Structure 1
Amino acid sequence: MKIPARLVPLLDQFDFGCERLLGRIEGPVVDSGNGVEVEATPMTDAEYLWEPVPDCWSVRRQVDRPGAGATALVGAGDWGRDSADSPHPVPPPFTTIAWRLTHLGEMLAVRADHAGGTRTLTKGDYRVSPDAAGAIAGFSAAAAAWREALLAADDVVLDRIGHCTYPHGSDPEEPFIDIVWWVNQELLHHGAEIALLRDLYRYRS
């Protein structure tokens, strides 16, 4: 199926965001933004779980208590991600790389399912990884699933309100093209945050 013209730049942006993020956390090199490749060391488990300030939200064993201000650990398996029902804490808690990366993976995996899969998955079905390699693999698989959902969308689907029935957002009330844009901004801003946390970790005292 031919990709609708208005989806092409959004798909290119998504691919670019995934490539930049994976380059920053997997290495061995990443495009600096101007075509020059710079060294990027693979992310360690210590860095993945690093809490640069007190009371971070992160990923934790299900048998442990949620972090400060969180009311639940969400996810399948032995580990979960700090979470709270609305209204969320104010000011928002600072989140670790682990929290941000598993949030992205869960969002992509569940949205892919609600755009072209079983339309049954929730945040609680996503397996939260306690280590960097597992989280990177989970994110990569989720990004591939979301990309497949985009490739299946024609112009009719892009305009369809509620094509994606993702239960943790406004997706059922929005045209699919708006959800595609929203997912991209989530990827780009959380990817940038993860990159900055990598820089801070490298220069920590």
Structure 2
Amino acid sequence: MTLPLRLIPLLEQYDFACERLLSRLAGPLMDSGNGVDIGVVPLGDDEYLWEPAPGCWSVRRRDDGPGERATALAGAGAWGRDSADSPHPFPPPFTTLAWRLSHLSEMLTLRADHTRGSRSLTREGYRTPGDAAGAVAAFESASAAWREALLSADEAALDTIGYSTYPNGSDAEDVFVDIVWWVNQEVLHHGAEIALLRDLYRARAS
């Protein structure tokens, strides 16, 4: 299928954002931004779960229960992501690298399924990895799944309200091209946050 012209720059932006985030997480090299490759230490478990501020929301062992101001650990399995029913705590808690990466991977996995898959996956059934290597692999798989969903969209799909039936966003009210744009900004801004957290971890006081 020929890609709609409107989708091409959005897909290129998405690919760039995902590639850059994965290289920042796993290395071994990343583009510094000016064409110079710099070495990257792969994300480790201590850094993945590092809490740089009091009262962080993070990914936690289910047996340990939710963190401060959280009321539940979202997902299934031995690990879950701190969460709370709406209205969320204000001011919002600082979220760890693990929380942000899990949020991205869950969102991409579920949106892909509700666009081109079984349309049955839920937050309650999503399994969040408790280790860095598993989390990076989960993001790589999730980002690839959403990319495949994008490749299935034609011009009519881009203008269809509810083409994605993802239940945790505005998908039921928005045309699909707006959802594509929204997912891009999620990857871009959370990717930038994750990169900054890596910088802060590297520069932290020993």
Equivalent position amino acid for 1:83 in 2: S
Residues in 2 aligned to 1:29 and 1:195: alpha-carbon distance in whole angstroms: 14
Partner of 1:26: 26
Residues in 2 aligned to 1:73 and 1:17: alpha-carbon distance in whole angstroms: 28
State the 4+ residue runs in structure 1 displaced beyond 6 angstroms: none
Q: What percent identity do the matched residue pairs reach?
A: 68
Alignment of 1:14-163 (within 5 A): 14-163=14-163
Instruction: Kindly state the Cα deviation for residue 39 of structure 1 after the two structures are TM-superposed.
Output: 1.3
Residues in 1 aligned to 2:96 and 2:143: alpha-carbon distance in whole angstroms: 20
Instruction: Kindly state the Cα deviation for residue 125 of structure 1 after the two structures are TM-superposed.
Output: 1.7
Aligned pairs, number: 205
Instruction: Kindly state the Cα deviation for residue 33 of structure 1 after the two structures are TM-superposed.
Output: 1.6
Gaps of 5+ in 1: none
Equivalent position amino acid for 2:128 in 1: V
Partner of 2:175: 175
Partner of 1:201: 201
TM-score, normalised on structure 1? Answer: 0.98
Residues in 1 aligned to 2:176 and 2:34: alpha-carbon distance in whole angstroms: 32
Residues in 2 aligned to 1:2 and 1:85: alpha-carbon distance in whole angstroms: 42
Residues in 1 aligned to 2:144 and 2:120: alpha-carbon distance in whole angstroms: 19
CA deviation profile, 1:147-167 (whole Å, cap 9, x unmatched): 000000000000000011111
TM-score, normalised on structure 2? Answer: 0.98
Equivalent position amino acid for 2:181 in 1: W
